[in-house]
Amino acid sequence: MSFYQRLNAAWDRSGSMLCVGLDPDVARFPTAMHGSVDAIEEFCKAIVDTTGDLVCAFKPQIAYFAAVGAEKQLENICEYIRAKFPDVVLILDAKRGDIGDTAALYAREAFSRYGADAVTVNPYLGTDSLEPFLATPDKGTIVLCRTSNAGSSEFQSLEVDGEPVYLRVARTAATKWRTIGECALVVGATYPDELARVRAIVGDMPILVPGIGAQGGDINAVVRAGASRPSSSAATPTSPPATRASTAPSTNRGLIINSSRAILYASDGANFATAARDVALATRAAINAAS
């Protein structure tokens, strides 16, 4: 199955656009784990166990592993997700970006080494830097468009021919990148107006939305602005071919809404995993109520 097919199936099966981000910060681990790097695998697997039936995707952030030399633990966690929740989409959040030969190695890192279904990448180097990702069969390439941080407008909102750079990225995704492979975009929950403008351009292309929970993005505004509906899909000339990702019903589709810290660190007690489940349940319910 391709990335788009797997994502559609995951939305269907879980009834959820929630993605749990695996950002294991040892300093915030439950007291019993003693802030230990060795506990990263145990911590993440416990979160996976209690939230896997509530999500369309898991998104490990590789920086948390790379900073402490825990790549082997990340490999084990990815393998665990694939084995225990084979229908959940696995997104490696790496925001890679390099020229051709090197980009091909990063694609190998994400898709082969970690077995991810999709990886986040940076568009600054241009289409040829994205091709090794896009050209990998059945894998997803999730390109940064408008990020959730306070300073994201500095370059992303520079005006070019009357529209901001991030919309140029969205337009390029909808026209060029989609013809090469299975493309998606990142738009932060902290910018719902911008999310609506991107949605109007990209039809029913999936959008990964970080920034709810600890970063303060509003779930209702995100779903209103970003969920994929027939009207928005029909309104754009850049809608993809009917054979691709177009079987989604009118609501509860189109978004991969990420929450990390609010779920992972719901409790620092021995009940951390069940507390994470409670927050994940409430977040999924809030997303579905807004749909």
Residues that bind a second copy (CB under 8 A): 23, 61, 63-64, 66-69, 71, 75, 95-100, 102-103, 105-106, 108-109, 112-113, 122-129, 144, 147-156, 158-161, 165, 168-169, 172
Q: Which is nearer to a second copy, 64 or 85 (CB)?
A: 64
What is the rounded CA–CA span in Å between residue 273 and residue 280? Answer: 10
Q: Give the shortest CB-181-to-a second copy separation in angstroms.
A: 16
Q: Which is nearer to a second copy, 35 or 126 (CB)?
A: 126
What is the rounded CA–CA span in Å between residue 75 and residue 241? Answer: 35
Q: Give the shortest CB-167-to-a second copy separation in angstroms.
A: 12
Q: Which residues are catalytic?
A: 95
Q: Quick one: how far is CA 136 from the chain centroid?
A: 18
What is the rounded CA–CA span in Å between residue 6 and residue 28? Answer: 32
What is the rounded CA–CA span in Å between residue 253 and residue 240? Answer: 16
Q: Give the shortest CB-268-to-a second copy separation in angstroms.
A: 18
Q: Which is nearer to a second copy, 64 or 272 (CB)?
A: 64
Name residue 148's amino acid.
S
What is the rounded CA–CA span in Å between residue 151 and residue 124? Answer: 16
Contact by Cβ (8 Å): 133, 103: yes
Q: Give the shortest CB-136-to-a second copy separation in angstroms.
A: 13
Query: Nearest Cα to 71, choosing from 122, 22, 113, 18?
Result: 113
